[in-house]
Amino acid sequence: MDKSSAVLLIFTGGTISMSEDSSTGALRPIDFERLQDFMPELNDIGVRFKSIPFTPFIDSSDMNPDIWEKMAMIIQKNYNDFDGFVILHGTDTMAYSASALSFMLENLSKPVIFTGAQLPIGMLRSDAKENMLTAIEIATAYENGQPIVPEVCIFFEDTLFRGNRTTKKNAEHFNAFNSYNYPPLAKAGVHIKYFRSYIHYNEPNLKLKVRTKTDRNVAILKLFPGITQHTVEAILHIPNLKAVVMESFGAGNAPRKKWLFDALKSANERGIIVVNRSQCSTGTVEMGRYETSLNLMHAGVLSAHDCTVEAIVTKLMYLLGEFSQPEQIKQKLTISLSGEMTVS
């Protein structure tokens, strides 16, 4: 690593920073001073670094949009002083945070790399150090004065993914993440091999714009055979609801029940945005391919194309927070804002 490079490490918490509670045996966050004792390597890696620890550290199951805002503001404040940013984060909701930041950090031109671990840093077989040290290397990888990966990413085990394409897939193995609908941006072996044609480069010299307003009035409606009208109506009548991600079958199909069509149409008429996402990990919604999705279009349902659930939920929160006109929000849902979906 290059001695003149500088990286900002933002420690939010997660398993990487936990140890076993002696009385309950459950994993809980330790404090930053103890964590540093496990990482003497940080002083030898040859890059300048500064750490910003959250106090207290959090399990990422407690993540929320206020903390996304905090992370985005830290990056904005330190943007000119560092070559790259590494965010140490629990794996459970890392894909949501990476997706949210990909929308909040408009015109990003520096690497923001999320990583974490499946085992605490103090355990012998922990994956924490390798993940963290490789993430730092990627965050400071420059060529001809330009960063190689100026995107919000997740690095885990040996793979670098675009953050808003990523999903946690495994609670057991070290390869905890996958990006089902977009190729990896890099693979780390003896060397780190970057796949540049998949990496997005913003126009150089654009000023970073940080957009932190979000609206949480979003819900997920997951369809299953036998779902009742009562369940669907109850979700679509949640007070203050502004948008729903409807998780449908296969290529975006839903039961051809008249009550479902009526409920979705009425939600649309009440100004609630309904976006159709497939329950399949791989592939895309193709509304109108089957009769079972044609009706959805007539009810005013929009397509999430091949977005992950993490990306579409956070995109909705961001759009509802930043824009007030429903037509403007709907238009932005049809386009990819930050590489989160493939639209042909």
List 69, 92, 151, 310, residue binding ligand ASP (CB under 6 A): 92
Exactly one of 53, 84, 116, 252 binds ligand ASP (CB under 6 A); which one? 116
Rounded-to-integer distance, Cα 194 and Cα 30, Å? 34
Say how many residues touch ligand ASP, by CB under 6 A.
10
Binding-site member from 22, 61, 197, 228 for ligand ASP (CB under 6 A): 61
Stretch that binds ligand ASP, among 41-49, 58-66, 183-191, 274-282 (CB under 6 A): 58-66
Q: Of 219, 252, 254, 223, which Cα lies nearest the Cα of 236?
A: 219
Q: Which residue is nearest to ligand ASP (CB)?
A: 90
Of 11-50, binders to ligand ASP (CB under 6 A) are 14-15
Stated as kind and residue range, the H or E segment containing 10 is strand 6-13
Integer-rounded Cα radius of gyration of the chain: 21
Q: Does the N-terminal peptide bond of residue 204 adopt cis geometry, omega within 30 degrees of 0?
A: no
CA–CA separation, 292 and 214 (whole Å): 33
SS3 of 272-300: the string is CEEEEEECCCCCCCCCCCCHHHHHHHHCC
Q: Which helix (H) or strand (E) holds 73?
A: helix 65-78
- Contact residues for 23 (Cβ-Cβ < 8 A; gap 6+): none
What string marks each residue from 276 to 315 as x (binds ligand ASP by CB under 6 A) or -? ----------------------------------------
- Nearest in space to 242 (alpha carbons), one of 321, 297, 145: 321
| Candidate ranges 55-63, 258-266, 310-318, 327-335; the one touching ligand ASP (CB under 6 A) | 55-63
Asked whether the CA dihedral 284, 288, 294, 296 is positive or negative, the reply is positive
Task: Write the interaction track for ligand ASP spanning residues 243-282; mark x where CB under 6 A is met and - where it is not.
Answer: ----------------------------------------
Work out which of 11, 47, 60, 341 binds ligand ASP, going by CB under 6 A. Answer: 60
Q: Is 140 a catalytic residue?
A: no
Q: Does 166 bind ligand ASP (CB under 6 A)?
A: no
Of the candidates 97, 102, 118, 253, which one interacts with ligand ASP according to CB under 6 A?
118
Residue closer to ligand ASP, measured from CB, 116 or 163: 116
Interface residues with ligand ASP (CB under 6 A)? 14-15, 59-61, 90-92, 116, 118
Catalytic residues: 15
